[in-house]
Amino acid sequence: MTRTRIVATLGPATASEEAIAALIGAGVDVFRLNFSHGTHEDHGAAIGRIRRLAGDRPVAILQDLCGPKFRLDRPLRARAGEIVEIPLPGGVRPGDPVLLADGTVHLEVVDGMRCRVVIGGDLPAGKGINFPSSRLDVPALTDKDRRDLAFGVAQGVDFVALSFVRRASDLDEVKRSGLPVVAKIEKPEAVENMEEIVRAADGIMVARGDLGVEIPIERVPVVQKRLIALANRAGKPVITATQMLRSMVDEPMPTRAEATDVANAVLDGTDAVMLSEETAIGKYAVESVRVMDRIIAEAEPLLAPRSDDPGRDPEDVLSAAACEMAERIGARAIVVPTQSGFTARKVARRRPRVPIIALTPEEKTRLRLSLVWGVAAVTVPWFGDHAGVLEQFREPVRATRLVPDGSRVVVTAGWPFATPGITNLVHVTTL
């Protein structure tokens, strides 16, 4: 069983029950629903199919809000040196670059309505517009996003991703929904403010598509590594996204560079790798999941446990001690009774070699742990006290079939159990 998670985007190629079932069978842990496209009726039907077809397997749903994305409102025929009119938001200045269709067409602002063509091309309506040097005066959440978010809450999605985050405060309104918020890092301002964003968010997405247009392309690999390291240290799940196996939209096998990209993200410590157009519109959607799973399986044995200093935070010290103890005594698993998933995330950030088995009474926690590296989550009736945990954890752990009978295991949890955000108990026992 691979421990790095796979996120797959649903789209026209994978909307059917047969396709969703095949993707789950191939190893998808989280489905991304892209609210830049489709209707609420479409997404509601997809959510129903995912829940029904997943059965007992914990498969989470990530709602990806569109955000303030600018697009061409009409086709554009642009020739170098010409002056063209396109919709420009407030905050652009004369001389600012404007990139269309992921940078294939390059313009320069003349005034509030007009641009000079630097690199031309013919584009249909709907292509994206990026303003990499402009500080735009636009809200983080649009009216469409608010309607979509209300729909996602009503449908019971497990995570919501916010596009074009620039600062930590951009997350505030979405966090009030009660859903865990994944901040998409794809703006220069977000790169500048990445530490505060990681602290504020419940998860991070390295959204390399728009990021690679908004900042110089040579900076993207370094920013990716910094974001993964920051998220790991904070115990926040991080998704590496965009064009991981892009050639499999049309071809049955990826390039060697793409395979290396996936493996390097795993070795950097990403919690999840994401497929976008590969599964949304690709000819080889299920095959792309299978290939990704095989690449992960080859890379993961090279991933060493994290041994960085846990500092003085008691939860970090206890989770580090549980992982070190498991390594030293040859334990076969780390068992984590948890209501919120907090302790399981703290253990997972250490990347232990043995399985992390989370026991939770909360179905929403079980599903949300599907985005966290290396955690096998099981729903159980809640334990009344710490003695109950130490007496009753064995049967649900045995049911996972991940640990042979008679094996040593390390149990770590927070007491009292009803208090989220506490890890203060470590216990060694035999299954």
Q: Which has the closest alpha carbon to 99: 82, 112, 111, 86?
A: 86
Q: List active site positions.
A: 32, 71, 184, 242
Q: Is 371 helix (H, G, I), strand (E, B) or coil?
A: helix
* C-alpha span between 313 and 295 (Å, rounded): 35
Residue position matching structure tokens 């966090």: 175
How far, in Å, CA of 388 to CA of 404, rounded? Answer: 22
Amino acid symbol at 45: A
Helix axes 256-268, 220-234, angle to 10 degrees: 30
Residue 266 tokens read as: 């795993």
Q: Which value, to the nearest 10 degrees, does the dihedral of the CA atoms of residues 222, 225, 228, 229 take?
A: -110
Question: If residue 288 lies in a helix (H) or strand (E), which one and from where to where?
Answer: helix 285-299
What are the distances in angstroms from CA 365 to CA 114, 160, 374, 380?
A: 50, 15, 15, 12
Q: Which amino acid is at 166?
A: R
Phi first, then psi, for residue 108 (nearest 5°) are -135, 130
- DSSP-assigned beta bridge partners for residue 412: 426
Place of tokens 């010409």: 82
Give the pair of three-digit tokens for residue 174: 């979405």
